[in-house]
Every structure is written in C-alpha cells, then in structure tokens.
C-alpha cells in the first residue's frame, strides 16, 4: 500500500461542531501532558532538595575558603577578579555574592539548581537513545526517568554538587549536555547550519566553563556511528558540517590546552610526584574504584589515599589493565546484542579520558571526576532496565526502591559537607595516611577551641615530609599556645620563621610573644612583618591590639585606620575603631 493511501486511510472525516466558549478554549491552552511533565520536574527538584538539605547551609569547605566570595574584602574586587580563568563560572559566583554576600546558602542552591538541570538533560538524552534503540515508548519513558533521577540522587555526585568550588562541573555539564540535546533532537537528515551554530555555541560555553567537556565531539561521533544508520560511518559523513567546524576548533583548543598545562601547578607533565606513564598505570586501578563506587557507594572520601603504580606490576595495575581491556573487547563484540550498554560504556570511557589517562593530576582520585562520565554508567543501567521482562509496575517499584536507597545515602553523605570540621574528620577516618587531611583537621580543631585534639593531629605529623613545613609549624605553634604550652609554642614558631621568614611567620610569632608578655619582642617582629609585606593586614591588627591593651589608644586607632586603607570593609578594624570611638565619647 502506498504512503498516499495510508494517509487517506488515516485521515479523519471532517465533522462540523459548534465552537466551544472562549473561556473553555483558554482552559485548554495548557495540555495535560505539559502539566504532567512540569509536575514531574518539580517533584524531582524537591527530591533533590531533600537529599542535599544537610549541606544547603553548610559553611565553605577546603578550597571554598580561598575563593573570591570568601574574602573579607570581596565587595571591593573588580570584575576581572571574579571572572578569572573561567568567566561564566566566575559570573555565577559574582551573582551569588550579590544575592547574599558570603552566605553559603545561595551558592549551594545555585549548584543544586544547575545539577537538577543537568539531570533533566540526562533524562532527555537517555530517552532519545532508547528511542533510537526501538524501546517501546512507555518502557523508554520509565527507564529514562530512572536514569535522570539516578544521576540526580546518586551519592557519588555529592562532592560535585555540595562542594561550591566544583561549580565548574555543574555549569560545564549543563551547557555541554544542552549541546548534546540540541544535536540529538534534530530533524532527520543532515544537520543544518543553524543547528550547527547552536551546538557549537553551547559546546564552546561548556568548554570555557571547564575543559574536560572538550571531548564532547568524540561523543557525537560515537552517537552517529551507533545510531545514525547503525554501526556505520554514513551518519558521520551526513553531518560533515558540524564535524568539519569542530575539527578546526580542535586545533585551537589543543594549542590552548598545551599552554594551560604549562602554567597550571596541579596538572601537567611537569609534575615531580610521578611521570605521565606512572599516572596512566595508576588510573587503571582508579577507574575500577570509580565503577565500584557507582554500583556500591560505600566508603566515599573527599581525599583518597592512592599509592602510585610506578610499573604495571605495582599494586595490581596490570590486573586492572587486563580487566578494562576485556571490558572494552566485550563492549565492542556485543555492541549489536546490547547496544545501549555498549554505547554507554564507551561514553563513560571517553568522558573519563580527560582526568584518567596520560595527563597527570596531583590528586590521583576525586569523586567529582565521575560527574561527567556518570551518564555513560547510567546508560549501561538503562540497557538492563529497558530489556527487563518484568511488568512496568513491578519494574517501576524496584527502580523506585533503588532511588530511595540512593537518595537516603546522598542525604547521609551530605552530612559530611555541613562544615570544615565534619569534612576533615571524615577524610581522616577514611584516609588516615593523608597528611593534608590531618593538617586540615588540626586547624579545624584549633578554630573550634578543641586545643588538645588539635595538638594531637599536629603531633602525628611531626616526622612526616610536608610540602609546606613552615605553614605546618606556624599552625602547630598556635595549637600549642591554645593548649597552654607557651614555651613549646614559641620554640615551634621560631622554627617556622627560620624556614620561611615572611610577614605571616613574623606575625604568628609576634602573637605568641605578646600573649607571653614579651611586648617589645612582639612589636619588633611586627616591624619585620611590615617590612616584608606592607599590605599584610594581620600585622596592623595585632599591633593595634597590643597598643590598645597597653593604653596607647590613639596609636592603636592609627593602626586600625591603616587596615581600612587596605580593606575598607575589614570587620576587625571596624569593630576596634567603633569601640575606641565609643570609649572616647563616653569619657
């Protein structure tokens, strides 16, 4: 039967009916399906709010404390400071600061909103892939919804969402996955120039937010190979417009990436801790850690202790290599029998490549690095959910139970991200070998006035080789002073000054001498601190406090005014000036 005949048979007969009242027409403008979609999105976001609730008001943690928004004088920063190397990410921080200053809630909420948008794109991507695989519509919708919610509620996502400094993860994926969606949801046939432009703009914005999404073109090529006429290069040839432009852009991106590696301190081939091939061997083991955490997220840690495999035979790297190679072969051989899982596996490997291949990164493992590849892992899950023989309602019940368990696990994991003290305590518990973790916990115990606990953490590091030993000694000295061991504190502070004679070391030691009653010695050290760095604010704060304590009110006032000349909004100086002014007024 011809297509013309089918259209005739399928066309409805014209029946004249009376037009409904105008108010009824207005009521029908929003289809029920849109209300259903909207309701589903709202419920999903509420589920995310519940899962991430413990960390929404959590304090700044780790690198957050060194970001522009955490600086006391952030309000005075010019725009270029906010923009930094990743302008779009910096703009989101700037907007958060304008909304609530240094209140963490707005930063956490923004990251969660971006994460929810990424999860929505995951749903749309998986739905289209299942459509390509000829999965029945209802089963496809159920499976895609599960995949989107699994991405949204998986506890392994916590670091990428609740760690504010990981905003680049959320924003880059939101933009890159938007480009992927635009690519997938196009009319049949070759891609047109307008859509090419849209894909490139979104992809470029994503790569500018974080460089790891630069591998998206490989994903698009893989998609055309798997689904555009099925396991052939015909689809790739059809979309020559897109790939030719991307090929030109890849040259410029490659040049930028090479220059970036030369200046970045924590990534690149110049790292001294290990070579590129030692990092490569180690990452085979790390990849299996990531995959295990995806299936069984137990023992999560924000700072993993991973021993370097300096040869393929060290720490079992060779077995991890063989296992991964076997998985690659199986995924390719069975690509026709299990196309969704095969495709998802290769998607995950491509997305793992920027951080788990030959380019060394100082931290050998980090949970936020699973954020990008997780869509590949959920696609593997989609294969089994979509092909399940169970009835839809039984499958939906089982998938809902999995989501509930993972959602509770995410809520529990977010307890760790409520502040620096629980954060570092968890890291020390999971990775006691990490010196950085004990140092961080010692500092947090000091800030919480748990002096003896703080000293204990520093004592455990006494014989270790540390990158910043002077900084460690300065912090140790403060902990000793806090615990009432003044002589030990002064001795330790003196060691710090010898190792690093800078303003910070002088100011630290001056604080200890002043507390011990050696005011002349403290003032002499503050003079040295000022000569070393005339803009180091603690120098003038401490000098002002000492002068105020000795009754030299006017001299103290001058010191606090010098602080305001550097930072007009410094809270310590403002409080001191207000106290001095009120005291003078009362007299």
Per-residue pLDDT tens over the stretch 84-103: 888 999 999 999 999 999 89
Residue of 468, 416, 398 lying closest to 439 (CA atoms) = 468
Q: Could you tell me if 252 and 280 lie in one domain?
A: no
Whether the per-residue pLDDT at 251 is higher than 90: the answer is no
- Mark whether 243 and 281 lie in a shared domain: no
User: b/e map of 445-470 (b: 16 or more CB within 10 Å)?
Assistant: bbeeebbebbbbbbebbeeeeeeebb
Mark whether 268 and 257 lie in a shared domain.
Answer: no
Confidence of residue 36 (pLDDT cuts 50, 70, 90): confident
- Specify whether 226 is located in the same domain as 325: no
The pLDDT of residue 325 is 97
**Predicted confidence band at 219 (pLDDT cuts at 50, 70, 90)?**
very high
Identify whether the C-beta of residue 88 lies closer than 8 Å to the C-beta of residue 209.
Answer: yes
520: Cβ contacts below 8 Å, ≥ 6 apart: none
Residue 345 lies in a domain: yes
Residue 257 has a pLDDT of: 66
The reported pLDDT for the residue numbered 169 is: 96
The verdict on residue 436 lying in a domain is no
Contacts of 484 (CB under 8 A, 6+ apart): 451
81 pLDDT more than 70: yes
Q: Do 279 and 241 fall into the same domain?
A: no
Burial class of residue 271, CB neighbours in 10 A (0-12, 13-18, 19+): middle
Question: For residue 266, what pLDDT is reported?
Answer: 73
Position 16 scores a pLDDT of 46
Percent of the chain with pLDDT over 90: 73
Whether residue 330 is found in the same domain as residue 239: no
Look at residues 360, 387, 414 and tell me which one is the last residue of a structural domain: 387
Segment 60-79 mean pLDDT: 87
Instruction: Give the pLDDT confidence score for residue 260 in this predicted structure.
Output: 64
CA angle 338, 343, 347 (to 5 degrees): 150
Q: Is residue 538 part of a domain?
A: no
Distance CA 127, CA 125 (A): 5
Three-class secondary structure of residue 190 per DSSP: coil
Residue 449, C-beta contacts closer than 8 angstroms, at least 6 positions apart: 482
Q: Smallest Cα–Cα separation from 399: which of 413, 414, 384, 409?
A: 384
- The residues pairing with 267 across neighbouring beta strands, listed in sequence order, are 361
Q: Summarize pLDDT for 126-179 with one digit per residue, the tens.
A: 999 999 999 999 999 999 999 999 999 999 999 999 999 999 999 999 999 999
Q: Which of 172-186, 233-247, 290-304 has the lowest mean pLDDT?
A: 233-247
62: left (phi over 0), alpha (psi -120 to 50) or beta: left
Q: Does residue 398 lie within any of the structural domains?
A: no
The count of domains in the chain is: 2
- Residue 583 has a pLDDT of 67
Looking at 203, 235, 261, the residue that finishes a domain is 261
Rounded distance between C-alpha atoms, residue 531 and residue 503, angstroms: 8
Cβ atoms of residues 180 and 219 within 8 Å: yes
Exposure b/e, 531-540, CB count within 10 A at least 16 = b: ebeeebbbbb
Residues 214 and 290 placed together within one structural domain of the fold:
no
Total Cβ atoms within 10 A of residue 550: 12
In this structure, the answer to whether residues 270 and 328 fall within a common structural domain is yes
Tell me if 431 is assigned to some domain: no
- 281 assigned to some structural domain: yes
Q: What is the DSSP letter of 361?
A: B
pLDDT 10s digits, 295-308 = 999 999 999 999 99
Amino acid 15: pLDDT: 40
String of b and e for 190-212 (b: at least 16 CB within 10 Å)? Answer: ebeeebbebbbebbbbbbbbbbb
179: left (phi over 0), alpha (psi -120 to 50) or beta: alpha
Q: Which long-range contacts (CB under 8 A, 24 or more apart) does 285-288 make?
A: 285/309, 285/315, 285/316, 285/317, 285/320, 286/356, 286/364, 286/365, 287/320, 287/324, 287/352, 287/356, 288/320, 288/323, 288/324
Between 564 and 571, where is the model more confident? 564
Give the CA distances from residue 254 to residues 89, 125, 260, in Å, rounded to whole numbers and listed in that order.
21, 27, 10
pLDDT at 17 over 60: no
What proportions of the chain, in percent to the nearest 5, are helix, strand and coil?
Answer: 75, 0, 25
Domain-embedded: residue 307: yes
Together in a domain, 255 and 268? no
**Judgement on whether residues 223 and 296 belong to the same structural domain of the protein:** no
Burial 405-433 (b: 16+ CB within 10 A, else e): ebbebbbebbebbbbbbbbbbbbbebbee
In a domain, 38, yes or no: no
Cross-strand pairs, 361: 267
Of the chain, the percentage scoring pLDDT greater than 70 comes to 91
191 and 299 part of one domain: no
Same domain, 280 and 382: yes
d(CA 306, CA 335): 33
Q: For residue 289, name the pLDDT band (cuts at 50, 70, 90).
A: very high
pLDDT of residue 164: 96
Specify the pLDDT at position 494: 93
Domain boundary among the residues 228, 261, 294 is at 261
Q: How far apart are CA 448 and CA 474, in angstroms?
A: 17
Q: What is the mean pLDDT of the chain?
A: 89
317: containing domain: 264-387
With cut-offs at 50, 70 and 90, classify the pLDDT of residue 26: very low
Spell out the residues 6+ positions from residue 554 whose beta carbon is closer than 8 angstroms to its own. none
* 2 pLDDT more than 70: no
Angle between helices 503-516 and 537-549 (to 10 degrees): 20
Distance CA 56, CA 461 (A): 33
């Amino acid at each position: 039967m011809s297509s013309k005949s089918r259209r005739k048979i399928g066309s409805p007969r014209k029946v004249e009916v009376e037009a409904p009242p105008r108010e009824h027409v207005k009521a029908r403008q929003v289809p029920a399906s849109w209300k259903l979609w909207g309701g589903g999105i709202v419920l999903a976001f509420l589920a995310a709010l519940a899962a991430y609730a413990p960390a929404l008001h959590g304090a700044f943690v780790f690198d957050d404390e060194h970001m522009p928004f955490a600086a006391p004088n952030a309000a005075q920063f010019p725009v270029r400071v906010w923009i930094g190397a990743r302008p779009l990410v910096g703009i989101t921080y700037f907007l958060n600061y304008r909304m609530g200053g240094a209140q963490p809630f707005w930063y956490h909420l923004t990251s969660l909103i971006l994460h929810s948008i990424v999860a929505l794109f995951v749903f749309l991507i998986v739905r289209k892939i299942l459509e390509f695989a000829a999965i029945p519509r209802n089963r496809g919708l159920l499976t895609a919804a599960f995949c989107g919610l699994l991405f949204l509620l998986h506890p392994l996502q916590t670091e990428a969402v609740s760690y504010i400094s990981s905003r680049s993860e959320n924003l880059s994926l939101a933009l890159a996955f938007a480009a992927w969606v635009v690519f997938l949801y196009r009319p049949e046939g070759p891609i047109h120039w307008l859509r090419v432009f849209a894909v490139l703009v979104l992809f470029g914005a994503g790569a500018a937010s974080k460089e790891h999404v630069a591998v998206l073109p490989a994903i698009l090529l893989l998609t055309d190979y798997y689904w555009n006429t099925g396991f052939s290069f015909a689809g790739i040839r059809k979309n020559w417009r897109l790939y030719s432009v991307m090929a030109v852009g890849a040259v410029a991106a490659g040049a930028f990436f090479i220059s970036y590696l030369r200046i970045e301190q924590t990534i690149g081939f110049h790292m001294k801790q290990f070579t590129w091939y030692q990092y490569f061997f180690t990452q085979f083991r790390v990849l299996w850690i990531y995959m295990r955490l995806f299936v069984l997220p137990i023992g999560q840690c924000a700072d993993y202790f991973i021993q370097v495999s300096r040869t393929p035979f060290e720490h079992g790297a060779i077995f991890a290599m063989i296992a991964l190679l076997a998985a690659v072969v199986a995924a390719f051989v069975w690509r026709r029998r299990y196309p969704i899982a095969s495709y998802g596996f290769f998607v995950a490997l491509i997305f793992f490549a920027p951080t788990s291949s030959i380019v060394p990164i100082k931290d050998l493992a980090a949970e936020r690095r699973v954020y990008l590849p997780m869509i590949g892992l959920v696609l593997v899950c989609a294969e089994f959910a979509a092909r399940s023989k169970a009835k839809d309602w039984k499958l939906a019940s089982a998938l809902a139970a999995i989501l509930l368990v993972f959602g509770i696990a995410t809520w529990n994991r977010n307890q760790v991200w409520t502040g620096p003290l629980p954060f570092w305590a968890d890291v020390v518990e999971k990775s006691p070998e990490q010196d950085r973790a004990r140092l961080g916990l010692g500092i947090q115990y000091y800030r919480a006035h748990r002096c003896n606990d703080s000293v204990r953490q520093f004592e455990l590091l006494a014989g270790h080789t540390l990158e910043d030993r002077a900084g460690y000694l300065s912090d140790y000295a403060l902990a000793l002073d806090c615990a009432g061991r003044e002589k030990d504190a002064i001795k330790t502070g003196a060691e710090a000054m010898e190792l690093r004679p800078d303003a910070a070391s002088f100011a630290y030691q001056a604080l200890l001498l002043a507390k011990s009653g050696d005011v002349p010695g403290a003032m002499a050290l503050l003079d040295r601190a000022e000569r070393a760095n005339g803009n180091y604010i603690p120098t003038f704060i401490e000098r002002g406090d000492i002068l105020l304590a000795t009754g030299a009110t006017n001299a103290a006032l001058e010191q606090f005014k010098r602080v305001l000349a550097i930072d007009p909004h410094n809270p310590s100086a403002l409080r001191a000036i207000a106290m001095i002014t009120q005291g003078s007024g009362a007299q």
